[in-house]
Chain A
Amino acid sequence: FQVNHPGDFSLSPIKPKLNVLSVMSPAGCSHVNGYKVDNWKQNLRVIYQCFVWSGTAETRRRKAKSCICHMCGAHLNRLHSCLYCVFFGCFTKKHIHEHAKNKRHNLAIDLLYGGIYCFVCQDYIYDKDMEQIAKEEQRKAWKLQGTPLLFLRIGEKYTTWEPTKRELELLRHNPKRRKITTNCTIGLRGLINLGNTCFMNCIVQALTHTPLLRDFFLSDRHKCEMQSNSCLVCEMSQLFQEFYSGHRSPHIPFRLLHLVWTHARHLAGYEQQDAHEFLIAALDVLHRHCKGDDNGKKANNPNHCNCIIDQIFTGGLQSDVTCQVCHGVSTTIDPFWDISLDLPGSSTPFWPLSPGGDGSTVNGESHLSGSTTLTDCLRRFTRPEHLGSSAKIKCGGCHSYQESTKQLTMKKLPIVACFHLKRFEHSAKLRRKITTYVSFPLELDMTPFMASSKESRMNGQYQQTVDVLNNDNKYSLFAVVNHQGTLESGHYTSFIRQHKDQWFKCDDAIITKASIKDVLDSEG
């Protein structure tokens, strides 16, 4: 039994209110028949466009001026418009009711929410045709407004779920419901280690606990266009079904492993692999399979892809190369799925963070006896770097090779940011694991690392007023992957977050409750 709606597990579908007096379709009432004559559809559309969901500046102006109660002049009090004539009246003060009685106009529309009220039935009614018009007009208005807040990053405005006939049937035949309480452990499931596959298990745990990804798959949003059975996205979908099935026994991800081996040859084999490499390979295959086999072209151009992987994980990294002679800047923006950060202790020097670096603490991390923080790593990542005389860049302004500095900043932040601490050093001289402790916070503000912040700093606005209310660049930690042991023999485990503040440790098949301290003390 596939659960289609991720949110509401506990309520059986509410049938639309069955009106005692109605003879027609269960959702409406017969009193609309008097209205549904002549050009009623167009009239209704006009009412929606002008007075309910005004999309254009002109309709907004008209709405602002005319939407007041004809009896008392107030604009509050649940203003309604009569459907039969031009009359606006308060609902709360019953002005619209008076009008309905006097003129025998039995239908009115709520100007706030667009609902149709029938004075005979004395309730809001849901006529199928009228609902259809309402939906269309609402969509039109949203499109016209186009403000970013109206659309979730996923690209669709939230609408409530309306079950189809088939879905209602399924729900009736499967009456068992699961209630999501704060203690319930649904979504948590161990994964059997199939032979050094802990690197895969950790990433799978992190992915199955990525809320947006979970919601995407549990709402059946993947439409498979692949002929064969080797679609990784379908397998992912199946995986989510397994995780949210409520089974407590560990899952054996043999099909997933096989598909990954098929599509990412470099990861095949039973030796221990790199979890980070697996993450990137998995995202890559999922991204490719999301588009199906036809859109091969689109899959290669990350800038034009609209698949769920890109929507969630893809960010834009800006690289500015400044010529030291003419100070001309050459900018490129590249997509990224993760940020790989160098650590102190590697062969490349870590400190100082930048020429004349500042010692401020961001994100409330304390430098406990000089320990490195994630923010330190990010500051180093975004520092201006002199490229040196051996790496001169051809400057478009000077038309010759000149020394330059390069700086990386975030142009566009992904919804889910993955930070990879480069603990495995594979240089020509040595292969080793860097175990330097790096502290990381529960909440991370990426504002200082944005390209826009850099521009403000360059324009002399040093003291940026911290917009505490602006949450756009703020992140909340939800998964940590850890490696214990050495480069040759080690073991991966992960911590994942459930229900906002409950953490669990995933060690292959064993899931145990963890404290926030456990998570933050871990290596990362």
Chain B
Amino acid sequence: MSKDSQMRAAINQKLIEMGERERLKELLRAKLVECGWKDQLKAHCKDVIKEKGLEHVTVEDLVTDVTPKGRALVPDSVKKELLQRIRAFLAQHATL
């Protein structure tokens, strides 16, 4: 594993251990609902389902179709806030 992915893995471990990952997830969830992201993607999912047909669509279809759009639609302010939280957390628990 590259140095980068090693660091990622280490950070991830720390986040999980301290329960911070769950808290961040909930914060992100709340922010994405607030800014309407969830509704946007939900509408998009419905379109995919209508297109592919209710009987034939799989979760994989949705994931493939929706993931790039979902990633692109996250507002910068939300990304900024999450990053800030993670940085603050690492600053507090920095033994990495």
Chain A positions near chain B (C-beta within 8 angstroms): 11, 14-15, 17-18, 54, 57, 60-61, 63-65, 67-68, 73-76, 115, 122-124, 145, 147, 149-150, 469
Which residues of the other chain, A, contact B16 by a CB distance below 8 angstroms?
Answer: 54, 60, 63-64, 67
Decide if B23 touches A149 in the complex (CB within 8 Å): yes
- Contact, CB under 8 Å: A145 / B1: no
Name B81's contact: one of A57, A73, A122, A469 (CB within 8 Å).
A469
What residue in chain B is nearest A471 (Cβ atoms)? B34
B90 CB within 8 Å of chain A? no
B26:A14 contact, CB within 8 angstroms? no
Residue of B nearest to A151 (CB): B26
Inter-chain CA distance A469–B18, complex, in Å, is 22
> Are B60 and A123 neighbours in the complex by a CB distance under 8 Å?
yes
Residues of B with C-beta under 8 A to A74: 1, 5, 9
Q: Report the Cα distance A75→B17, complex, angstroms.
A: 14
Beyond A60-B19, A124-B59, 4 extra complex contacts between A and B, CB < 8 Å: A64-B13, A64-B16, A65-B13, A145-B19
Cβ–Cβ contact B59 & A75, under 8 A: no
Shortest CB-to-CB span from A323 to chain B, Å, is 40
Interface residues of B in 24-72 (CB under 8 A from A): 26-27, 30, 46, 49, 54-55, 57-60
| Nearest-neighbor residue (CB-CB) of B60 within chain A | A123
B55 close to A18 (CB less than 8 A): yes
A68 to B54, CA, bound (A): 34
C-alpha spacing A60/B13, complex, angstroms: 9
B59 touches A469 (CB 8 A): no
Contact of B30 among A11, A149, A469 (CB under 8 A): A149
A61 near B49 with CB under 8 A, answer: no
A193 to chain B, nearest CB (A): 37
3 closest cross-chain pairs (CB), A and B: A64-B16, A64-B13, A123-B58
What is the size category of the interface that chain B forms with chain A?
20 to 34
Taking the closest CB of chain A, its distance from the CB of B96, in whole angstroms, is: 13
User: Which one of B14, B18, B49, B59 has the highest number of Cβ atoms from chain A below 10 Å of its Cβ?
Assistant: B59
Of the candidates A14, A60, A145, the one whose C-beta lies within 8 Å of that of B17 is A60
Known contacts A14-B49, A54-B16, A65-B13, A147 near B58 by CB under 8 Å = no
What per-residue 1/0 map shows which CB atoms of B1-21 lie under 8 Å from chain A? 100010011001110111100
Closest to A19 in B: B55
B3 smallest CB distance to A (angstroms) = 14
Q: Cβ of B17: which chain A residues have Cβ within 8 Å of it?
A: 57, 60-61, 64
Q: Is the CB of A73 within 8 A of B26?
A: no
B81 vs chain A, min Cβ distance (A): 5
* A67, B23: Cα distance in complex, Å: 19
Chain A residues positioned under 8 Å from B22 (CB to CB): 145, 147, 150
Give the most central of A14, A54, A67, A149: most B CB within 10 Å.
A149
| Contact A150 B49, beta carbon cutoff 8 Å | no
Instruction: Say yes or no: A75 contacts B19, CB within 8 Å.
Output: no
Q: Chain A contacts of B19 at CB under 8 A?
A: 57, 60, 145, 147
Chain A min CB distance to B82 (Å): 10
B84:A469 contact, CB within 8 angstroms: yes
Offer 14 A-B interface pairs, CB within 8 angstroms, sorted by A. A11-B46, A17-B57, A57-B17, A57-B19, A60-B18, A65-B13, A74-B9, A75-B8, A75-B12, A75-B13, A122-B58, A122-B60, A123-B59, A149-B30
Cβ-defined contact, B55 with A115, below 8 A: no
**B5 partner residues in chain A, CB cutoff 8 A:** 74
Q: Are B59 and A14 in contact (CB under 8 A)?
A: no
- Report A-chain residues with C-beta under 8 Å of the C-beta of B18: 60
**B9 and A75 contact, CB distance less than 8 A:** yes
Q: How far is the CA of A115 from the CA of B60 in the complex (A)?
A: 13
> Cα distance A115–B59 when bound, in Å?
10
Assembly CA distance A74 to B57 (angstroms): 29
Kindly state the separation between the CA atoms of A65 and B9 in the bound complex, as whole angstroms: 10
Q: How far is the CA of A17 from the CA of B52 in the complex (A)?
A: 13
- Name the residue of chain A whose CB is nearest to the CB of B12: A75
CB neighbours (8 Å) of A147 from chain B are: 19, 22-23, 26
* B residues in contact with A67, CB < 8 Å: 16
| Complex-state Cα separation, A76 to B12, whole angstroms | 10
Q: How far is the CB of A177 from chain B (nearest CB, A)?
A: 13
Cα distance A21–B30 in the bound complex, in angstroms: 38
CA distance A61 to B27 in the complex (A): 21
Contact of A15 among B54, B60, B84 (CB under 8 A): B54
> Within 8 Å CB of A68, what residues of B?
9
CA distance A124 to B58 in the complex (A): 8
Residues of B within 8 A of A63 (CB): 16
What's the Cα separation between A57 and B22 when bound, in Å? Answer: 12
Complex Cα gap A231–B16 (Å): 48
Task: Give B65 Cβ to nearest chain A Cβ, in Å.
Answer: 15
Report A163 CB to chain B, min CB distance, Å: 16
Of the candidates A115, A145, A149, the one whose C-beta lies within 8 Å of that of B27 is: A149
CB-nearest residue of chain B relative to A150?
A: B26
